[in-house]
Amino acid sequence: MTAGSDVIAKPADWFQNGFHRFLHSYLRRNFHAIAFARETELQSQFQSSVEANPEHAQASPLQDGSLPLIVYSNHASWWDPLLAHAINERLLAPRQFYAPIDAEALQQYKVFEKLGFFGVQSDSNRGAAQFLKTTAALFQREHSALWVTPEGRFADVRDHEAKLMPGLAHVCSKLDRGWVVPLAMEYVFWDERLPLVLFRFGDVISIPTVSDWDKSHWSAELTGRLRSSQSRLAELTIQRSSEPFQKLLQGKHGVSATYDVARRFKAWMTGQSFRPHHGDHFQ
């Protein structure tokens, strides 16, 4: 299949831009903040890998749109696809988001077809073959980013025993160029009424530097890098400090509009400054 015969239409800019405006507002209403760990910031990782492997010359995927780019993450929540779309737009632009989704689920959320999602029949050889064919076509399209959740089911962030589905390792083993990025995500409560979304990129893989990896080796590396990043993110989360994180989006704080009006009035009556937030993180 060539890019020209690809059945997945590139999302219309006007529609996707409108969706992103809605999405930013929606996420702000439902989360106190969305932030990523600074220690594995992507641009720095890409640059370090390029400098460390001059014999396998490959530009950063943020500079060369022709390079395949895969981001894979744990699958903890219903929110994951929306967060992935937001992260892609904020940190990987101009890469276009594409992601497989269960074909039956896509029938319930038809609008996702206009946002880069494509249906895959789970647990069937035909579905696996279609997934491989579709991803091959997408990688021929400039500025594409493939997002996958290879756990294949919702899984607690502390459950590191589940094996990743083999499709991702198979796709990676067939590529001779491009980048693969692990992403760990958690949804946590700290001091505010609304939860936080915290995420951390794992160690990226520059495909030309690992040309000797077979499918089995890929499977082990993909699993290990994701679980390692999840474990490190858990350590940072337990510290309950926003210092290691870079804020991507600021959401709401306070209790409710009605109660905060009362709190504001009380502060004014007593000559005190009003603090709608309850903690000092992500202000």
The answer, yes or no, to whether the previous bond of 276 is cis (omega within 30 of 0) is: no
Residue 244: closest CA among 207, 177, 196: 196
111 pLDDT more than 80: yes
- The identity of residue 139, as a single letter, is F
Q: Are 196 and 34 in contact (CB under 8 A)?
A: yes
d(CA 146, CA 67): 11
pTM score > 0.85 for this model?
yes
For residue 161, how many other CB atoms are within 10 A of its CB?
7
Q: Are 151 and 164 in contact (CB under 8 A)?
A: yes
Going along 84-239, which residue ranges are E strands?
96-102, 117-120, 144-148, 179-188, 196-201, 205-206
d(CA 70, CA 109): 23
179 pLDDT more than 80: yes
Q: pLDDT tens digits, residue range 17-55? A: 999 999 999 999 999 999 999 999 999 999 999 999 888
d(CA 274, CA 260): 9
d(CA 137, CA 171): 12
3-state secondary structure of 155: coil
Residue 184: closest CA among 145, 152, 158: 158
Phi/psi of residue 185, nearest 5 degrees: -130, 145
**Mean pLDDT, residues 260-277:** 54
36's enclosing H/E stretch is: strand 33-37
Please write down the HEC assignment for all residues of 221-246. Answer: HHHHHHHHHHHHHHHHHHCCCCCCEE
77 pLDDT more than 90: yes
Phi/psi of residue 208, nearest 5 degrees: -60, -20
257's enclosing H/E stretch is: helix 257-269
Residue 271 is predicted with a pLDDT of 62
**Mean pLDDT, residues 99-111:** 88
